């Protein structure tokens, strides 16, 4: 990969290192080539010490809504959800089945059993092909 990494400014030409301040593959390769620790180039947010300090103090639950102290001006404001309109177009006639729902098995049009179809049926249709050859003079009716 042709990427330029500047470790002093913590930037790279692709922009990933600068946006997240977390070294990616190309930045890790440059850091290991300079024989430095990767934790020097990470933002403090990603370090364990920051997480430990964040949970050092007890976190109190919010409590029941009847116990909340809400100012009167905030309590008077009523916020309704946005108005909803149905999807445009004609509704679907058939719903999409969930995964694992429905039979999912093929049914053969010749023997009426499940697990295969006419194309991969075990026996050949020799009798069908001979009937067609002998009766080629007669018109064949196709069903739709």
Number of domains comprising the chain: 1
Q: Quick check: is 64 in a domain? A: no
Q: Quick check: is 42 in a domain? A: yes
Domain with 18 in it = 5-54
- Minimal CA–CA distance to 16: which of 26, 2, 8? 26
What pLDDT is stored for residue 134 in this prediction?
Answer: 47
- What is the C-alpha separation between 104 and 114, in angstroms, rounded? 10
Task: For residue range 85-134, list pLDDT tens digits in order.
Answer: 888 888 777 877 777 676 567 778 888 887 777 887 776 555 444 444 44
CB atoms under 10 Å from CB of 27, counted, come to: 23
Cβ neighbourhood burial of 12 (10 Å; 0-12, 13-18, 19+)? buried
Give the three-state DSSP class for 72: helix
Q: Quick check: is 101 in a domain? A: no
Q: Quick check: is 15 in a domain? A: yes
Q: Record the pTM.
A: 0.33
Q: Quick check: is 121 in a domain? A: no
């Amino acid at each position: 990969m042709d990427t330029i990494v500047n470790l002093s400014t913590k930037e790279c030409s692709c922009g990933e290192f600068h946006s997240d301040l977390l070294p990616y593959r190309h930045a890790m390769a440059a850091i290991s080539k300079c024989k430095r620790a990767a934790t020097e180039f990470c933002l403090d947010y990603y370090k364990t010490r920051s997480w430990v300090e964040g949970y050092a103090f007890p976190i109190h639950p919010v409590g029941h809504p009847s116990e909340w102290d809400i100012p009167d001006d905030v309590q008077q404001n009523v916020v309704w959800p946005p108005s909803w309109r149905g999807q445009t177009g004609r509704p679907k006639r058939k719903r999409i089945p969930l995964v694992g729902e429905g039979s999912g098995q093929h049914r053969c049009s010749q023997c009426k059993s499940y697990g295969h179809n006419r194309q991969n049926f075990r026996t050949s249709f020799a009798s069908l092909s001979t009937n067609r050859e002998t009766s080629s003079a007669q018109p064949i009716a196709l069903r739709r």
